[in-house]
Amino acid sequence: MKIIHTADWHLGRIINGKSLLEDQAYILEQFIDEMEQQQPDVIVIAGDLYDTSYPNKEAILLLEHTIRRLNLDMGIAVIMISGNHDSKERLHYGSTWFEKSNLFIRTSLDDINKPITIANVDFYTLPFATVNEVQQFFDEDSLETHQQCLAKSLSYINQSLNKEKLNILIGHLTVQGGLRSESERPLTIGTVESVEADSFKQFDRVLLGHLHHPFSIESDYISYSGSLLQYSFSEVNQPKGYKCLEIIDGAIVKEQFIKMQPLRKLEVVSGDYEDAIQERLNVNNKDNYLHFKLKHMSHVNDPMMHLKQVYPNTLALTNETFDFNTPLYERNEEIQKLNDEEIISRFYEYITDEGLTETQNTKLEAVLNDMLEGGSTK
């Protein structure tokens, strides 16, 4: 038996005003082709199919087209759950009909103890739910953290678990210790959202969505597939693809991450503004979605416009001259050791990227002397 694990498609995603739909259609066409080769028994999509709860027409058509190819044309069973970006009701629409073709869309807590059985493997689904929703479902106000909610849900599932079978959980959540990227919207605001890895021990395998890095967690039975594409510049060096599990005689014998090649990657380019405009900077691919971090551009009027004329897919621009990333206390310590002239000279260099000229130095010395000694600079 072969299981494909993917998640976080975020269809309809827009980064800095740029719709990624073309890139998403491209990578999903590649995914469809690969599935034709792989011939899996099940495809698991662990949440965040859409980027918003109110997806646009194009995103809906893309999801429908993709799933129709996989499920109806190729006859592959598909199990998907809702993530924190999806609207439960909208994603669930039509699912009673879909189940007749082995397309399972699970968005409700009502079904968490009802496994989907495919070839002697029981798939349990745990769609994203807020603490509030879990409280209401179990009618227990004492459930206050994600960890408590998960523990409650898992012990509830445990009552239905058939230990004779291989049990696989599909979820959308953050496991403690998982690597985070900027494009994962926090599951809730103001609560600790991650849960302990130990909670899942009753399952043979846990296939997760939410974290975008395919190697977000080190575990021999819990795994994130990672997102379909790089969805923020913090994911620049993350490989993207899907995972493939093979089961023989009721045991998982192999798990493999399979990389896919996107139409465009995300790329961060650092350097001097003039070098960027003159194409003297090392850019891997001019068609990539670029984030420029540039110096010496304070004199330029609308630098973004100029960059886009050379690199049409420029999505972000940071003025690196003002780099406030160095922690303040570090600089404070340094400052203690410097004299006034050095502090001013360093500050000047920090802001303008250039040292003081000889004339400026002489003038500075005179001004300082005047102020500190009370004399005249004339």
Segment contacting a second copy by CB under 8 A, of 54-62, 155-163, 225-233, 331-339: 54-62
Segment contacting a second copy by CB under 8 A, of 52-60, 173-181, 331-339, 350-358: 52-60
Q: Does 165 bind a second copy (CB under 8 A)?
A: no
Q: What are phi and psi of 63, to 5 degrees?
A: -65, -45
Q: Are 12 and 50 in contact (CB under 8 A)?
A: yes
- The alpha carbon dihedral of 54, 56, 59, 64 has a sign of positive
What distance in Å separates the CA atoms of residue 175 and residue 152, rounded to the nearest whole number?
16
Q: Does 21 bind a second copy (CB under 8 A)?
A: no
Q: Which is nearer to a second copy, 91 or 228 (CB)?
A: 91
Which residue among 25, 32, 61, 258 contacts a second copy (CB under 8 A)?
61
Which residue among 22, 33, 36, 89 contacts a second copy (CB under 8 A)?
89
- Exposure of 121 in the CB half-sphere (CA atoms within 13 A): 27
Q: Which is nearer to a second copy, 59 or 247 (CB)?
A: 59
CB of 92 to a second copy, least distance (A): 9
Q: Are 138 and 110 in contact (CB under 8 A)?
A: no
Residue 249 CB neighbours (<10 A): 6
CB of 98 to a second copy, least distance (A): 5
What distance in Å separates the CA atoms of residue 153 and residue 155, rounded to the nearest whole number?
6
Which amino acid makes up residue 134? V
Q: Does 299 bind a second copy (CB under 8 A)?
A: no
CB of 335 to a second copy, least distance (A): 57
As given in the structure block, the two tokens for residue 214 are: 């395919």
Q: Does 101 bind a second copy (CB under 8 A)?
A: yes
Q: Does 283 bind a second copy (CB under 8 A)?
A: no
Q: Does 98 bind a second copy (CB under 8 A)?
A: yes
Q: Does 90 bind a second copy (CB under 8 A)?
A: yes
Q: Does 64 bind a second copy (CB under 8 A)?
A: yes
Segment contacting a second copy by CB under 8 A, of 94-102, 146-154, 321-329, 345-353: 94-102
Rg of the chain in Å (alpha carbons): 27
What distance in Å separates the CA atoms of residue 354 and residue 214, rounded to the nearest whole number?
42
Q: Tell me, by CB under 8 A, how many residues bind a second copy.
A: 18
Distance of CA 355 to the CA centre of its chain: 41
Q: Does 329 bind a second copy (CB under 8 A)?
A: no
Q: Does 322 bind a second copy (CB under 8 A)?
A: no
As given in the structure block, the two tokens for residue 351 are: 């802001």
Q: Is 179 exposed, middle or buried (0-12, 13-18, 19+ CB in 10 A)?
A: middle
Q: Which is nearer to a second copy, 97 or 324 (CB)?
A: 97
Q: Where are the alpha helices (DSSP H) in the chain?
A: 21-38, 57-67, 88-92, 95-98, 131-138, 146-158, 273-277, 303-310, 328-337, 340-352, 358-373
3-class SS string, 235-283: HCCCCCEEEEEEEECCEEEEEEEEECCCCCCEEEEEEEHHHHHCCCCCC
Q: Does 72 bind a second copy (CB under 8 A)?
A: yes
Segment contacting a second copy by CB under 8 A, of 23-31, 59-67, 286-294, 364-372: 59-67
Q: Does 94 bind a second copy (CB under 8 A)?
A: yes
Q: Does 97 bind a second copy (CB under 8 A)?
A: yes
Q: Does 110 bind a second copy (CB under 8 A)?
A: no
Q: Given the rule CB under 8 A, which residues bind a second copy?
A: 54, 57, 60-61, 64, 68, 72, 87, 89-90, 93-94, 96-98, 100-101, 103
